[in-house]
Structure 1
Amino acid sequence: MNEALFTATYEQYWSRLYSICYFTIGSREAAEDTVTEIFLSLWKNRDHAVIDNMEHYLVRAAKNLSLKYLVRQRKMDAALLRMVDTLQGQDLYDASDHPLKVKEITAAAREALALLPEKTRQIFLLNREEGLTYQQIAKHTGLSVKAVEYHISKALRALSRSMLITLLEFIRQTS
């Protein structure tokens, strides 16, 4: 595949692939990243890839990568929720010489939540503090379940970044 053919393929299929990814993932940024990943892979493998039907190949790639993204995201969200649940009300280390306590992690998480858009924060708190399911939150807020998933994922990403920064500071202090 030469550069002109690649450019023509990109221009012809980009918006269709984006639509597929966005419909599946529900995030503009993630959909754009996924489409970019598809075209990067196509370009990298241009010399040895044998593609009989370009449209079929690209659509299948968009669907597969979107589903992989969702699986990865759900695993990360589940792991973060387990971490938050485990850390709540417990010291990070039992040894008294370690300065980092769960209170500091919780404070960092609260600060991260305070910086979120109001709707995202409210949805996250309905799930984590009120115990509402995604379906119940969707009904309560008038949003789709997919929109609720998006807001909770956004909150979890902010929390994970905040916790990671706090933990890195702890590691730096104790090294």
Structure 2
Amino acid sequence: MDYKQASDRELWDCCRKDDMQAYNEIFSRYYPRMYHLARRYVQDAMRAEELCMDQLFHLWVKREEIHIISSFSSYLFRSIRNRVITEMRRNLPVMTGLDEIAENIQLDRSSDYGLLLEEAEHTYREVLNKLSPQRRQVFMLSREENLTYPEIARRMNLSVNTVENYMVAALNSLRKNLHEKVPSAIIPLLLLSDFSSSYL
């Protein structure tokens, strides 16, 4: 089998049959992009590496139990986003400062925090749906599928410069509208996309 040319699904099927070489190909194929995604939100490079390593190790350890129905890449990027969200939640007071949180809202983690996240996600979806169709599509392709700007440009038949402009405009609009309705401490979590209270 030519592992380099194999599809993700073929590699995963082999991986589930204890094929370490298939797993190593998955690792080399996806670790750099997972790390790049984690580093967008985790300032500590070593911690970002640990999160990605842990997630990929988890993939191997639980290979017989994990059933991937969606695309393999979507599963991996969603899984590392969930780890990053958990990390950000754990370090939220450190990252944003207790004064900022107190200024925006008093968070009772045992009760109000979960409700706040649910309301914040609802607001995020509303704001996202108000973007123009192309801006929204560019944003979702970047965040949900982790495509690069050239990849998005090819998929949407646009220039890279246009994709960049759409992305900047989408982020500016999201930040502006979210800032008016959502505590600023929560906004970085929302802009990870794939954000859902069911993941937290």
TM-score under structure 2 length normalisation: 0.37
- The structure with more helix, counted as a fraction of residues: 1
